[in-house]
Structure 1
Amino acid sequence: MDGINLNALSENATRLGMRIQETIAEHTRDLSLTRGGSSLFDMADDKAKNITKQLESSSDREKLDAMKRLIALISKNRPVSSYFPAVVKNVASPNLELRKLVYIYLLRCAPSEPDLALLSINTFQRDLADPSPLIRAMALRVLSGIRVPTVATIVLMAVRKSAADPSPYVRKAAALAVIKVHKVDQAHHPTLLDIMTTLLRDRSPLSLGTAVLALDTIAPSRLDLLHVHFRRLCRALPDIDAWGQVDVLRVLVRYVRTMLPKPVPASERQGEEVDKDLKLLLACAEPLFMNKNPAVVLAVARAFYYLAPSSMLSKISAPLLRLLSVSREVERVALAYLLVVARSHPVLFITSHNRFLVRVDDAEQVKRRKISVLLALCTADNHQTLLREFMDYAQDTDDSVVGDAIHAIGRIASLVPSSTPQCLTALMGMINSKQDTIVSNAVLVLKSLVQNQLLTPSSTSTTTLPTPFSSQQALLASSIPSLTPSISTSLSAAPLSFTSTESTSVAQAPLSIIAQLAQRIDDIRHPHARACVLWLVGQYGSVTGTKTAVEGVADWAPDVLRKAARSFNTEASLVKLQTLTLAAKLILLAPTHRTLVLLAQYVFTLARYDEDWDVRDRARMLRTLLVGAVTGIMSSNDEDGVGENWNKEEQAGRPGVVLRREQVTRVLFEGKTGTIEEELVADARPLGTLSLVMESESLHLHDDDDDETVIDLPEWLEQGIDPALRDSDDDAPQVASSVQAISSQATSSQRVPTPAGSTPVVLTPIGGSTPKDTKDWRDLNKFYASESESEDESEEEERNGIGEHSSEDEETSEDEEDEGVAEHDPSSSHERAS
């Protein structure tokens, strides 16, 4: 007996241990499925072979694990089309999470397996009638995502059915499906427009934004479909979801610019003239400035920038400045908007220029944008502060930021002429820097300033220095006064006229800067900067009235040509071109100097066999241009035959027009205009485009070339369309109903207004509790007096015990009630009369 009990106990213990092991294994498997998905991406090939077996298992846990592994394989770009038949079997699974993964798999693999995708269409069509709106929306999303042209008609029928679905979530999915169907087969465009007409009449804010987006995608030019919906869209803006607000605002901006008249600015005689529909849009969009989504704030700012009159533009400054402190990513996008607004309306941000100071931890693009914004806000009052800031930014570790800061210093000198001495002092100090980036950018800016100042008309007024500075500081403090050195005057040795000796020294300030640049030509390694120095030396290397080594040429000019000729073979093509131009100009200024002519001939010979065809073409053009000038001048005193040999090959067998020296002078020296520093970001890029943020002209919002016109903001109309086209049933005045009692004859004529669109409330009496002897009271005192008299009469009746007249009173009240009903309902009185 004891042995039997022991056997039973051991058997039960064995069963309990197995049950515990199974339970632990089940819980352990759950933990393995719910932990991080990194193991799914590192699975071995043998586990991938078991996916089909897991998909055909009866356990949802196995199927879910298999689908997760398939999604991981899809993300690794592995072929998973072989599992398609097994996956399709789980389309109708009651497990919602499993069905989602199946839908994702079908969306990714249906284009590659269109025949197999057709097997699941019946299931999706059945799901369109599922009681759950989530299932219906998912089925439509997957059905429209199977981009097979052969089933476009079936998908279109599903979209039409879902567009009238009672759930706004399903109608939103229908609007998104319209876009997919249009991309697959544009032959259904008229039918899709009919569906869009239905969706635009939707009252739910959940689907309204998506409907507007779908219309803008399939028919961007059909803004006329929004006529009757414009005011309703404006009023519904605060209730639409955040990303829907962005789409609706973008479309409404185009609608207003296309259909509404342009606001007339205020004048001395009359105020601003703004269309009432535009006022409605701005009033409904203004609260969105406080939205927590930065995209919505930028969309509203764009709408105000392009639509609002000048008196309302100040409302966009505070919201845009608030975005600078949201995050680094948002700050970069907000700065792109701020730069455009600051260039057109700098007065909005002048008092807040401290918000745009560069921080050390700012990204490169953010630093460059801030420098551009600060430059747009530069005025005579804050240029000193900005100049010091730009000088500090010139020491940045990023070369692009250094270049922008140095160019900004040059722009300050152009915007505020009184700051030119300080800007030149800073730029000349940068030339002595050991960093090539600083030196090269300083040379470029100095070249622009010197050229612009030397090309301005000369002034005959006396120029005086404010204080007795040193010679170098005095030249810089003169702000580079106006001087136009005429080459023809220099060649004729006509002295420059000034009103004083101080003016003479002041006039040489640009030449002094050029001389310093020429002396440091070996330290300037940047090709563009070296080309600028060579151009300055050739353009302004002539001197008159001063004894120099080469008559008519500054002492530093031939030495610059010698250094450039020595390193000609190793220079960049841009430097070679300017070296050729410098040699031609110096020959023209001193054609009788034998050494200079030989040096120029050496440079032209090197250029003739250069690898760059631009250099060879420039050398051939200049040699041909100088044929008549050099040989004609040197024919009288040419001992070694340099003039006869000059460009002999060009003269032999190539007859043509030979220009005189004066004509060549006009070609090489005159006709040059000053350069204006270009803005760092083009103003032509509109707000709301990706090219504005990425600073690229090749980026567009849409992939198709036909949609590029959508990006361009339409021009305003002088006279908009008829406002009556925007009238709808919502705007029509409704007859207000009154809260009335049936027995009240007097109050039937007195209406109590009710809100538009609300259901009138009618109070219906129950029983015979209708007041007797109802009169049309017009005096409040008589009303209260009558009420007191009725109370006295009732008390007296109670005291006398008049109870026998109660039935008569009831009959009288019923008769009065019938009379009151007859007054309110003429049909009832007519029936009684008949």
Structure 2
Amino acid sequence: MGDAKYFQRGKIQELRQELATDKKDVKFTRKKTAMKKIVANMTMGNDMSPLFTDVISCMQIPVLEVKKMVYLYLIHYAKSKPDMAVMAVNSFVRDASDTNPLIRALAIRTMSYINVDKIIDQLADPLHHCLKDSDPYVKKTAAVCVGKLDMHDPHLVEREGFLDSVRELLNDSNATVVANAVAILSEIAERSERFELTIDTSMANKLMTAINDCNEWCQVYLLEALLFHTPQESTDAELLAERVVPRLQHANSAVVLSSVKAILYLANYIQKEETVNSLYRKLAPPLVTLLHNGPEVQYVALRNILLIIQKKPDFLKGEMKVFFCKYNDPIYVKMAKLEIIIRLANENNVEQVLSELREYSSEVDVDFVRKSVRSIGRCAIKIEQAADRCIQTLVELIRTKVNYVVQEAIVVIKDIFRKYPNRYESIIATLCENLDSLDESEAKASMIWIIGQYADRIENAHDLLDSFLEPFKEEPPEVQLSLLTAIVKLFIKRPTAGQELVPKVLKWATEDIDNPELRDRAFIYWRMLSTDPVAAKQIVLSEKPPISTETDNLDPDFLDDLLLYVSSLSSIYHKLPTAFIGGIKPRRLHHSRALNPMRKVAPLDQFESNKG
């Protein structure tokens, strides 16, 4: 059974008796067993707080296993019984100077967990000693305690000068101590307005030296710290980037992505475009390798790759096949891969891409099929030479008569018509054969736009629009707006065909509909048609703004900011942390001689404060 026997509801009185002093229990076996029962009951949610005084008395027992359980108990109940928790202060202080480094570290770690003012006040003196302890484990734990203490009482941390003590640990000979110190300083710097962390070139190189002696998670901390270094010379950034490159081969995906982030950051301070391109080429193989991991790691890698290819579209050229979807990929991975496939599509591989997308369009997952059909339309808009082939593929899909496929195809064909006017009108008849299958607002609005745009070439445009007009008052706003504009276009192009529909739709839109956008547009059309038909024709039939897949790209400045958060939630959400985390400072590139002039930098006053 092992420890399962302890997970039984224990009676308070019986446990109290087991914790009582017993001269025969020389090795404290009985008390150890009692503490295991208490911790097991805590885990099950049973209230063990009446034993508080009895458990505190066990702090004197010189057995590490018992102390761990007592400390766990205190952390659990200190918030509900702060007055009684104070009784343990003297024992904590005594343990903080114990000869056993594990007990010293355990004592200050537990004190930092208990958010009781008197205990926090008593923590300062032992913490000072532990930050200068001879044992690396104690120093590492003390550094982490400073981070916790800063969340409880930042003014105490500032008053006692703990941050300076932690900064001194950056020069420690033990790599784990250095990594934990830099992790705590980075965390405090990101949320504190009163503290700025700056790492000079000498310290950055020391961190890169320490990285070889660290475990994988400490390596992540050290790589993250490079973002607090502002290279003053391009050569410094180049040398640091080259020292980071070997980490790209690491087996741990977090180390790989942190290395990618550090290299992307340092690339901003490298003047030679050839060197920057070389670094980007070195990023490609490790990122592709991440796609051979589990689906969760794949998804994180794909979302980060999507950011990077917007910055450097050709850094993954030739790697198209690794993004093709597998039958057993989860839907979220397939969707992420589709987005990248479209961005990597070009004249040379478009045939291969279209073949894949056509195959995806026969899958069983409806959302995936929709995205695949829409991707075919994006291919046509992006690559003019492939437009004919894309249209042919979409027409084939429409003829399958699968409802959601037909609707999605019509939506993307509308965009293709806008991109290439007067080029593919021959397929309008095929589209009109499928009007009965349109039950989604976006598909309806797209079909109505096509009919209105080509009303002079569709003989029965009047009847088609009239059939859409019957449920006009119940339609969603986007369908109503599209129908209003289409009927006005019909009237302008063929007055006799549209003269019955125009007054009807204008009356409904201005008198029976509450939507202000629809009502205002109807009034504008009504006044233009009644006062100046020539101006109405020029406005309604004016040349449409160009449509492009470039509109899917992130704003360049916003993208530069996001690339400072590669391997974090921001790179998955494609939102800055300030959008979903409170009290965090945004990262910015800081000014230096080496900074590429095209990069956005932090305000000068912020830079001046950093220099201090």
Shared fold (TM-score, shorter chain, > 0.5): yes
The alpha-carbon deviation at position 63 of structure 1 amounts to 4.5
Q: Please tell me whether the aligned partners of residues 519 and 556 of structure 1 are also in contact (alpha carbons under 8 angstroms).
A: no
**Deviation readout 1:76-118 (Å, 9 max, x if unpaired):** 5565544433332223333322322222232233233322221
Q: Please tell me whether the aligned partners of residues 260 and 717 of structure 1 are also in contact (alpha carbons under 8 angstroms).
A: yes
**Deviation readout 1:552-610 (Å, 9 max, x if unpaired):** xx3232122211112324432321222222233333444455xx444344444444565
Q: Please tell me whether the aligned partners of residues 456 and 494 of structure 2 are also in contact (alpha carbons under 8 angstroms).
A: no
From 213, 217, 227, the equivalent of 1:239 is 213
Instruction: Show the 5 A alignment for 1:513-524.
Output: 513-524=427-438
**Residue of structure 2 in register with 1:307 after alignment:** 266
- Inter-partner Cα distance in structure 2 for 1:225 and 1:448: 51
From 492, 495, 501, the equivalent of 1:599 is 501
1:378 aligns with 2:337: no
**Residue of structure 1 in register with 2:151 after alignment:** 183
Q: Please tell me whether the aligned partners of residues 109 and 145 of structure 2 are also in contact (alpha carbons under 8 angstroms).
A: yes
1:577 aligns with 2:481: yes
The alpha-carbon deviation at position 208 of structure 1 amounts to 0.4
**Residue of structure 1 in register with 2:298 after alignment:** 331
Instruction: Show the 5 A alignment for 1:345-360.
Output: 345-360=312-327
**Residue of structure 2 in register with 1:143 after alignment:** 111
- Inter-partner Cα distance in structure 1 for 2:199 and 2:501: 75
- Inter-partner Cα distance in structure 2 for 1:695 and 1:207: 33
1:133 aligns with 2:96: no
1:218 aligns with 2:96: no
From 442, 445, 448, the equivalent of 1:534 is 448
**Deviation readout 1:114-154 (Å, 9 max, x if unpaired):** 22221112111111111111111111100111122344332
Equivalent AA in structure 2 for residue 296 of structure 1: V
- Inter-partner Cα distance in structure 1 for 2:171 and 2:343: 46
From 104, 114, 118, the equivalent of 2:72 is 104
**Residue of structure 2 in register with 1:166 after alignment:** 134
User: Residues 107 and 675 of structure 1: is their aligned pair in 2 closer, same or farther, counting only changes over 3 Å?
Assistant: farther
Equivalent AA in structure 1 for residue 244 of structure 2: A
Which secondary structure state, in structure 2, belongs to the residue aligned with residue 406 of structure 1?
Answer: helix
User: Residues 380 and 433 of structure 1: is their aligned pair in 2 closer, same or farther, counting only changes over 3 Å?
Assistant: same
Determine which structure has the larger helix proportion and give its number.
2
User: Residues 438 and 541 of structure 1: is their aligned pair in 2 closer, same or farther, counting only changes over 3 Å?
Assistant: same
User: Residues 381 and 57 of structure 1: is their aligned pair in 2 closer, same or farther, counting only changes over 3 Å?
Assistant: farther
- Inter-partner Cα distance in structure 2 for 1:360 and 1:48: 57
Q: Please tell me whether the aligned partners of residues 175 and 210 of structure 1 are also in contact (alpha carbons under 8 angstroms).
A: yes
Equivalent AA in structure 2 for residue 668 of structure 1: V
- Inter-partner Cα distance in structure 2 for 1:562 and 1:294: 58
**Residue of structure 2 in register with 1:820 after alignment:** none
1:709 aligns with 2:586: yes
Q: Please tell me whether the aligned partners of residues 89 and 122 of structure 2 are also in contact (alpha carbons under 8 angstroms).
A: no
Which secondary structure state, in structure 2, belongs to the residue aligned with residue 223 of structure 1?
Answer: coil
Q: Please tell me whether the aligned partners of residues 518 and 556 of structure 1 are also in contact (alpha carbons under 8 angstroms).
A: no
Equivalent AA in structure 2 for residue 510 of structure 1: Y
- Inter-partner Cα distance in structure 1 for 2:476 and 2:31: 66
From 297, 300, 316, the equivalent of 2:256 is 297
Equivalent AA in structure 1 for residue 77 of structure 2: C
Equivalent AA in structure 1 for residue 266 of structure 2: L
Highest Rg: 1 or 2? 1
- Greater displacement, 415-424 / 336-345: 336-345
- Inter-partner Cα distance in structure 2 for 1:347 and 1:677: 16
Q: Please tell me whether the aligned partners of residues 78 and 114 of structure 2 are also in contact (alpha carbons under 8 angstroms).
A: yes
1:253 aligns with 2:130: no
Aligned residues: 571
From 509, 514, 518, the equivalent of 1:613 is 514
**Deviation readout 1:272-316 (Å, 9 max, x if unpaired):** xx41x3344234323323322221111112222332422233222
Q: Please tell me whether the aligned partners of residues 588 and 665 of structure 1 are also in contact (alpha carbons under 8 angstroms).
A: yes
Q: Please tell me whether the aligned partners of residues 238 and 288 of structure 1 are also in contact (alpha carbons under 8 angstroms).
A: no
Equivalent AA in structure 1 for residue 586 of structure 2: T
Q: Please tell me whether the aligned partners of residues 12 and 51 of structure 2 are also in contact (alpha carbons under 8 angstroms).
A: no
Equivalent AA in structure 2 for residue 114 of structure 1: P
Instruction: Show the 5 A alignment for 1:802-813.
Output: none
Q: Please tell me whether the aligned partners of residues 19 and 34 of structure 2 are also in contact (alpha carbons under 8 angstroms).
A: yes
- Inter-partner Cα distance in structure 2 for 1:571 and 1:72: 60
**Deviation readout 1:144-177 (Å, 9 max, x if unpaired):** 1112234433222222111100001010001101
User: Residues 446 and 74 of structure 1: is their aligned pair in 2 closer, same or farther, counting only changes over 3 Å?
Assistant: farther
**Structure 2 stretches lacking a partner, 5+ long:** 268-275, 596-612
Q: Please tell me whether the aligned partners of residues 254 and 714 of structure 1 are also in contact (alpha carbons under 8 angstroms).
A: no
**Deviation readout 1:390-444 (Å, 9 max, x if unpaired):** 1111222223322332222223223332211110001122223343332222112
Equivalent AA in structure 1 for residue 582 of structure 2: D
Q: CA RMSD in A?
A: 3.0
Which secondary structure state, in structure 1, belongs to the residue aligned with residue 424 of structure 2?
Answer: helix
- Inter-partner Cα distance in structure 2 for 1:279 and 1:238: 19
User: Residues 532 and 51 of structure 1: is their aligned pair in 2 closer, same or farther, counting only changes over 3 Å?
Assistant: farther
**Deviation readout 1:778-799 (Å, 9 max, x if unpaired):** xxxxxxxxxxxxxxxxxxxxxx
Q: Please tell me whether the aligned partners of residues 238 and 284 of structure 1 are also in contact (alpha carbons under 8 angstroms).
A: no
- Inter-partner Cα distance in structure 2 for 1:149 and 1:540: 76
**Deviation readout 1:170-216 (Å, 9 max, x if unpaired):** 10001101111111112134312221232222111011001001111
Instruction: Show the 5 A alignment for 1:573-722.
Output: 573-592=477-496, 596-607=498-509, 613-614=514-515, 617-623=517-523, 625-627=525-527, 629-630=529-530, 659-670=531-542, 672-677=544-549, 682=554, 684=559, 685-686=562-563, 687-692=565-570, 694-695=572-573, 697=575, 703-705=581-583, 707-710=584-587, 713-714=588-589, 717-719=592-594
Equivalent AA in structure 2 for residue 453 of structure 1: Y
Q: Please tell me whether the aligned partners of residues 488 and 502 of structure 2 are also in contact (alpha carbons under 8 angstroms).
A: yes
Q: Please tell me whether the aligned partners of residues 300 and 567 of structure 2 are also in contact (alpha carbons under 8 angstroms).
A: no
- Inter-partner Cα distance in structure 2 for 1:321 and 1:562: 53
Calculate percent identity across the aligned residue pairs: 26
- Inter-partner Cα distance in structure 2 for 1:219 and 1:113: 33
Which secondary structure state, in structure 1, belongs to the residue aligned with residue 59 of structure 2?
Answer: coil
Q: Please tell me whether the aligned partners of residues 59 and 70 of structure 2 are also in contact (alpha carbons under 8 angstroms).
A: yes
User: Residues 399 and 236 of structure 1: is their aligned pair in 2 closer, same or farther, counting only changes over 3 Å?
Assistant: same
- Inter-partner Cα distance in structure 2 for 1:260 and 1:531: 55
The alpha-carbon deviation at position 333 of structure 1 amounts to 1.7
From 199, 202, 215, the equivalent of 2:172 is 202
Q: Please tell me whether the aligned partners of residues 148 and 184 of structure 1 are also in contact (alpha carbons under 8 angstroms).
A: no
Which secondary structure state, in structure 1, belongs to the residue aligned with residue 437 of structure 2?
Answer: coil
User: Residues 540 and 113 of structure 1: is their aligned pair in 2 closer, same or farther, counting only changes over 3 Å?
Assistant: farther
Equivalent AA in structure 1 for residue 286 of structure 2: P
Instruction: Show the 5 A alignment for 1:487-526.
Output: 509-526=423-440
- Inter-partner Cα distance in structure 2 for 1:669 and 1:57: 95
The alpha-carbon deviation at position 242 of structure 1 amounts to 1.6
**Residue of structure 1 in register with 2:125 after alignment:** 157
User: Residues 444 and 695 of structure 1: is their aligned pair in 2 closer, same or farther, counting only changes over 3 Å?
Assistant: farther
Q: Please tell me whether the aligned partners of residues 107 and 146 of structure 1 are also in contact (alpha carbons under 8 angstroms).
A: yes
- Inter-partner Cα distance in structure 2 for 1:228 and 1:151: 38
